[in-house]
Structure 1
């Protein structure tokens, strides 16, 4: 049952991947607006440090869990269901990426990327849907990627997972279109975080790719949350143009990226040698 004394503008928000770069920035932006956060991640110490740095730290809850573990995910759901006031918003921010050519990507890496970036958000959304539907301000925000709309060499599995997340979000938005639950999708371009390896930074520099700060991504996410209706948003220029061109004239993008393959291959092979098991936790 929802708490009767809960302020009308205060939301209970489950934020996955809270201790990462985007998650950290999101936590601070949301806490500053007076929302109560459930901070999920795998590193309990990092989550506690984050929680202690937030305004009104005592109001927020640290919920360490490995989302790939069904039992730990079940415990997370039990915590959400027991929370006074329920859960109003789910932000599916947790994700992993790997910069590698397909031939250097083994089954374990494929499985980890697809499960973390696609299957877990789908399962969490499904399992929390009843709680979200009880809220007058229920919402789901899925954090995608420009690479889910522009197939980029070296990120084939990551791009496939984010493309699937977009497809899931689009269908869910329509499925819940006659309910009060809003469904949002945010697709950042490259983001400047400490998880980027030297090879990824080098690739972006060599190709002239721009990166946004986690704070800017957080601002865009909060803007979606505070909007009046379900929406999707793509970040960055010229990435937004490339997404449109790729949808209408993919052969042009094919040609442009094929010309860049020697550079992409060089940095991908460097990354594989330095991080053979993958570069993100």
Structure 2
């Protein structure tokens, strides 16, 4: 996996998902060498075969919530002659449910996948990233990490934690060459959305973006000159600012929507 001065070796987690697939294609077109992580080797191999210069990319199937599999992934990364220049923490799970309908197993899966695994991966890859002249970490968050939305309390908590981790890490590595970025999309059109989530967004008038647009914004961060954070969507960016200054206004607005949210949440988890 030899790189030119303009290309990098990038570990992309959740590569087989909607955003991950779009990111893989966009990065490969630019000549980057990809380490494609996901749970299904078959799906990852299919993705690799569709990418430009498929021989440049490696498939690294692993369950990031399994400590042993995660350690094997890290060992493989450390064994590469090219090293690893960029980590994109994209893997994630979402669950639309009221807190009363969320058991410990679901809570643990969301927090481990969306928060603990990215933190552990970043820590264990840091020696390689610090060695790279163009090292970077990109954490894919969510608007729900900044606007507490009913029905997504655990998911929102995991993404809020990811933002806090990213902010602290950006400052911790501020005197190094490693750039630390954060991208918070609004709703995205992927298979993660159940029918109830799609219907909820339609009923509330929530807009969504394509995975391709999210990938474009992620690439803009990667190719930027400094660490940055970016929020996607309007009026979501406005709501995030209002929520930070006058959260009681957002409280009132969302409480009024609770009958609709509760109806679809109960459909999602009868």
Normalising by structure 1, what TM-score?
0.95
Structural RMSD (CA): 0.8
Aligned: 1:165 with 2:172: no
Shift of 1:239: 0.1
Equivalent residue for 1:65? 62
Tell me which stretches of 4 or more aligned residues in structure 1 moved more than 4 Å: none
The gaps in structure 2 that reach 5 residues or longer are none
Which of 110, 118, 123 is matched with 1:121 structurally?
118
Alignment of 1:1-281 (within 5 A): 6-273=3-270
| CA distance in 1 between partners of 2:231 and 2:131 (Å) | 29
Shift of 1:195: 2.2
Shift of 1:109: 0.2
| CA distance in 2 between partners of 1:27 and 1:79 (Å) | 19
Normalising by structure 2, what TM-score?
0.99
Equivalent residue for 1:276? none
Alignment length (residue pairs): 270
Q: What does the per-residue CA deviation read over 1:109-166, in whole Å, with 9 as the maximum and x for residues that have no partner?
A: 0000001000000000000000000000000000000000000000000000000000
SS at match of 1:50: helix
- Check the 8 A contact 2:94/2:192 in 1, yes or no: no
Shift of 1:207: 0.2
| CA distance in 2 between partners of 1:74 and 1:171 (Å) | 24
Shift of 1:6: 3.4
| CA distance in 2 between partners of 1:261 and 1:87 (Å) | 45
| CA distance in 1 between partners of 2:183 and 2:80 (Å) | 27
SS at match of 1:37: strand
SS at match of 1:136: coil
